[in-house]
Structure 1
Amino acid sequence: MATASVHQQILDGNIHKKIPLSTYESNLEPTLQNLESLLPKTSSEKLPKFDPMIHLQYYSNELASHKYNNTRRITMKELGLENPNLQISPIGVSDPFPLFTEEAVTIMKKELLTKDIFMENARYCFNSTSGLDCCLRGYVKTIDGKVNCPFIYEAWTNPKTMELISKMAGVDLEIIMNYEIGHVNISIKSNDQANEEIIKYERLMIDDKKRKNSGDDIPAVVGWHYDSYPFVCVLMLSDTTKMIGGETSLRMGTTKGENQVAIIPSPQLGSASVLQGRLIEHIAPTPLGLSERMTMVTSFRAKNPSLKDSSILNTVKPEINFGSRYNEFYSQWINYRCELIKQKMDLINNKVKTGDSFNKDDITNDLKDVEDYVKKTYEEMMISKEEMAKMFQKK
């Protein structure tokens, strides 16, 4: 009976993990009201439309464009993680770079915190340990094509935004699917809790020497993990002026028998980092001193269909992640995989059409790659014994 109940909850879209209205009204509605005073006044109630020349820092701020062009990027080789068979770019990770303006971030938060949008789509985080830790997934554009958050949708899909993110990542990227546009993670604490964290900071600090070893002792809400998709772009939506910690730690390749840890600074409001997270094990240490922390994540794969798409569903499938709603998520997963399979088959067909001679071994290997991709598509939707145990533990 318990098994049937858990499965039905998943099929229903994990609605049992929705955020209570009382929690929204006490913790997030005041934030929404404060945003109103920060927005530019218009003749109508509609929010401003996304304009890359206004809302991308690269085009609206000369100093920001200079900072973007001088952002440090660490290669997979420098991390000791070079993997020619799987990596889609030589770049492993970037330091935070200026992406969206403060006005853009304000409009984004206004859209995603709108009562109807939030209450319909927000779910408690599957890895939440305390306070209000929730996420919004699949809320920007629905499977039937309805755009619920036009500013967020245009901000991430605009060609100029894509160009900036792709350049930073070292490869032309494409958003995985609409469900993965603007995934938001929200953590809310009381001001007293935030202030108490600052007071206790000295006791909670991690010794620098320890941070240079395996990194197993770094405290975090989510432990060491790999992302489900090839590349992510993580945008900071909160003012981090008073934040302590929050850097991203990356597990480097083994050097002299030891794992070293690379540290990426925490971003400021409107800044973002790109990470080839499918191939880099990483952790985001628990930040201290913030009463509200919001990050927005959009996931990508290579635009070129001939490059490897190593996507998996470990951290995002509905059976594990409460924010993924069964019908919408799996439908979009299959749609995107089928479209990519078509593109891969077209490449094979064109190779045959335009070739002077037929190379059986080459074409056979290409077809086997597509076969493996199809197999991986349905295998990723299967539930392992370990995942089954997590389902019953967290439901």
Structure 2
Amino acid sequence: MTVLSSQYPYPTVFGSNGLVESYKEFAPTHAIPEKTRKNEIQSVLNRITSTPGFDPTMNFDPSKHLIFDPKSYDTTKTFTLSELNINKTHVPKVTDFGAAYPFPLLSEEAVNMILYEAMQSHIIDKYARLPNLATNATRLDFHIGGHAAEDAPFTKAVVNSPEIAEIVSTFFGTPMEPIYNSETAHMNVSLATMDDEESKAYPQTESEIKEMLAKQDAGDGDEIPSSLGLHYDSTTVALVIMMDLPEEAVGGQTTILTGNEKTVRVPEPKIGYATMIQGRVLKHLASKPVTNHNRITFVNGFAAAGAEKLDNTALTSTKPSVLPRARFDLFYKDWVDYKFRRLEAHLKYVREKVVEDYEAGKGFNQEAFVGKCMDIEEYFRKCYDEMECVNNPPYPPPHFKIPYEDLP
């Protein structure tokens, strides 16, 4: 039996590397405080359950709960990576799509149902944790993820909606599909404090708010308070749907870093509106409101669909030692199931294509086949080489800090 510790330099997780040492035990040090659960989380649930007509047993109905208008394909402002001056990427881009401004997607009824499922006490126990390495995070900032498959039927139906996959595919310019459970239907939560003393830490006047925003935007993104700091996603595309952000809130947008290393805030979306970014190659963060208001987003990961392609998802920012909300056994079950299903489909495609070309009289292209095998070999290695028992360098990785133009 191979003993990994004799072969690899980082067989053990170290907190000094910015990692969560108790990741296998679901990071008990990052559990949601009881004060937050009894006060702010309960307040969200009370608001939802008191909404006229709310039905906690409701089923997802795309004809009623999807409010997307096909006209949005033409009216939504989008940016290519080129338009964002991003000419170099740390991994190959899938298309030139960069980001989309908010467009209407989910009804208020659907938003309330997704929030209701996520904020249940047993969900918070099993799937929610405080962030790791966020900027200025408090007891009120946390993540929820992995709950849709078994404990949130309405949310699961939304995530697997072919209508939403079609919308993402059309914007992105190539067929896309939702990825594994632990990286769909996850929520980034920043709640307004109900504690009078804590609320004094927020700017109180309009001039103080403007001053704080200007100071944040003048930097490189590292100092912007966030529930998820400046990073690249480990999924190809992030579909970010706003669940809660009051109109009077200031800040709280998805903030991206352009090719000239300047921060740009995507305009504040309305409830139920979605934005999209090619997060695998575009640095960004989930900023917190400058004011004392809720900011909750519902994030779904997508990757290129089709057996002829291999996805470019990674473990970097989503594995349990980095992101405490990822439950070790569940996360890796989801990861292996997804990656191996993609690999199985691709192997079948390559095999059948070789036979098809031969039978069509095209012969055998040895160089092309070797290239495919090398891609498959690299893909298989990436299925495991970022796992904690193999490789645990400090987080964030160096390329998170490298300017786009200085990338290899």
TM bracket, shorter-chain basis? 0.7 to 0.9
Once residues 159 and 39 of structure 1 are traced to their aligned partners in structure 2, the CA distance between those partners, rounded to angstroms, is 29
- Structure 1 residue corresponding to 2:57, chosen from 11, 34, 47: 47
Once residues 319 and 28 of structure 1 are traced to their aligned partners in structure 2, the CA distance between those partners, rounded to angstroms, is 25
Contact 1:108 1:151 (C-alpha < 8 Å) held by counterparts: yes
Pair 1:271 & 2:276 matched: no
Give, as a single letter, the amino acid of the residue that structure 1 aligns with 2:175. D
Compared with structure 1, are the counterparts of its residues 223 and 158 closer, same or farther at alpha carbon in structure 2 (3 Å cutoff)?
Answer: closer
Partner of 1:144: none
Structure 2 matches for 1:92-107, cutoff 5 A?
92-107=98-113
Partner of 2:234: 228
Give, as a single letter, the amino acid of the residue that structure 2 aligns with 1:49. N
Compared with structure 1, are the counterparts of its residues 370 and 27 closer, same or farther at alpha carbon in structure 2 (3 Å cutoff)?
Answer: same
Name the SS for the 1:253 alignment partner: coil
Aligned residues: 367
Give, as a single letter, the amino acid of the residue that structure 1 aligns with 2:59. K
Shift of 1:118: 2.0
Contact 2:220 2:263 (C-alpha < 8 Å) held by counterparts: yes
Shift of 1:194: 5.5
Instruction: Map Cα deviations across residues 218-273 of structure 1 (whole Å, 9 max, x no partner).
Output: 5232442111111111111103301112333332335xxxx444442122111111
Give, as a single letter, the amino acid of the residue that structure 2 aligns with 1:18. A
Shift of 1:4: 9.2
Name the SS for the 1:332 alignment partner: helix
Give, as a single letter, the amino acid of the residue that structure 2 aligns with 1:28. I
Give, as a single letter, the amino acid of the residue that structure 1 aligns with 2:297. T
Instruction: Map Cα deviations across residues 147-181 of structure 1 (whole Å, 9 max, x no partner).
Output: 31111111121111221222222222111101112
Partner of 1:205: 213
Compared with structure 1, are the counterparts of its residues 69 and 56 closer, same or farther at alpha carbon in structure 2 (3 Å cutoff)?
Answer: farther
Name the SS for the 1:379 alignment partner: coil
Structure 2 matches for 1:162-311, cutoff 5 A?
162-190=165-193, 192=196, 196-199=202-205, 200-206=208-214, 211=218, 215-216=220-221, 219-221=224-226, 222-254=228-260, 259-311=261-313
Compared with structure 1, are the counterparts of its residues 187 and 67 closer, same or farther at alpha carbon in structure 2 (3 Å cutoff)?
Answer: same
Q: Which moved further from structure 2: 366-375 or 178-187?
A: 178-187
- Structure 2 residue corresponding to 1:56, chosen from 53, 56, 66: 66
Q: Which moved further from structure 2: 87-96 or 33-42?
A: 33-42
Unpaired runs of 5+ residues, structure 1, are 59-63, 142-146, 390-395
Contact 1:181 1:298 (C-alpha < 8 Å) held by counterparts: yes
Once residues 216 and 152 of structure 1 are traced to their aligned partners in structure 2, the CA distance between those partners, rounded to angstroms, is 32
What TM-score comes out, normalization by structure 2 length?
0.82
Give, as a single letter, the amino acid of the residue that structure 1 aligns with 2:392. S
Partner of 1:61: none
Partner of 2:8: none
Compared with structure 1, are the counterparts of its residues 284 and 148 closer, same or farther at alpha carbon in structure 2 (3 Å cutoff)?
Answer: closer
Once residues 354 and 112 of structure 1 are traced to their aligned partners in structure 2, the CA distance between those partners, rounded to angstroms, is 48
Partner of 2:37: 24
Give, as a single letter, the amino acid of the residue that structure 2 aligns with 1:126. N
Give, as a single letter, the amino acid of the residue that structure 2 aligns with 1:50. F
Compared with structure 1, are the counterparts of its residues 39 and 336 closer, same or farther at alpha carbon in structure 2 (3 Å cutoff)?
Answer: farther
Once residues 76 and 215 of structure 1 are traced to their aligned partners in structure 2, the CA distance between those partners, rounded to angstroms, is 19
Contact 1:137 1:323 (C-alpha < 8 Å) held by counterparts: yes
Partner of 1:113: 119
Once residues 34 and 231 of structure 1 are traced to their aligned partners in structure 2, the CA distance between those partners, rounded to angstroms, is 31
Compared with structure 1, are the counterparts of its residues 8 and 77 closer, same or farther at alpha carbon in structure 2 (3 Å cutoff)?
Answer: closer
Compared with structure 1, are the counterparts of its residues 354 and 324 closer, same or farther at alpha carbon in structure 2 (3 Å cutoff)?
Answer: same
Name the SS for the 1:197 alignment partner: coil
Once residues 4 and 371 of structure 1 are traced to their aligned partners in structure 2, the CA distance between those partners, rounded to angstroms, is 27
Shift of 1:83: 6.2
Once residues 384 and 296 of structure 2 are traced to their aligned partners in structure 1, the CA distance between those partners, rounded to angstroms, is 33
What TM-score comes out, normalization by structure 1 length?
0.84
Shift of 1:127: 3.0
Q: Which moved further from structure 2: 72-81 or 124-133?
A: 124-133
Structure 2 matches for 1:59-74, cutoff 5 A?
65-67=70-72, 69-74=74-79
Compared with structure 1, are the counterparts of its residues 29 and 317 closer, same or farther at alpha carbon in structure 2 (3 Å cutoff)?
Answer: same
- Structure 2 residue corresponding to 1:313, chosen from 299, 312, 315: 315
Once residues 76 and 13 of structure 2 are traced to their aligned partners in structure 1, the CA distance between those partners, rounded to angstroms, is 51
Name the SS for the 1:374 alignment partner: helix
Pair 1:329 & 2:351 matched: no
RMSD after superposition: 2.7
Shift of 1:280: 0.8
Partner of 2:3: none
- Structure 1 residue corresponding to 2:157, chosen from 149, 154, 158: 154
Once residues 155 and 128 of structure 2 are traced to their aligned partners in structure 1, the CA distance between those partners, rounded to angstroms, is 16
- Structure 1 residue corresponding to 2:348, chosen from 333, 340, 346: 346
Q: Identity of counterpart residues, as a percentage?
A: 25
Give, as a single letter, the amino acid of the residue that structure 2 aligns with 1:378. Y
Compared with structure 1, are the counterparts of its residues 126 and 218 closer, same or farther at alpha carbon in structure 2 (3 Å cutoff)?
Answer: closer
Once residues 395 and 352 of structure 2 are traced to their aligned partners in structure 1, the CA distance between those partners, rounded to angstroms, is 41
Instruction: Map Cα deviations across residues 55-90 of structure 1 (whole Å, 9 max, x no partner).
Output: 1112xxxxx554454101111221233569722222
Give, as a single letter, the amino acid of the residue that structure 2 aligns with 1:178. N
Partner of 2:95: 89
Pair 1:135 & 2:140 matched: no
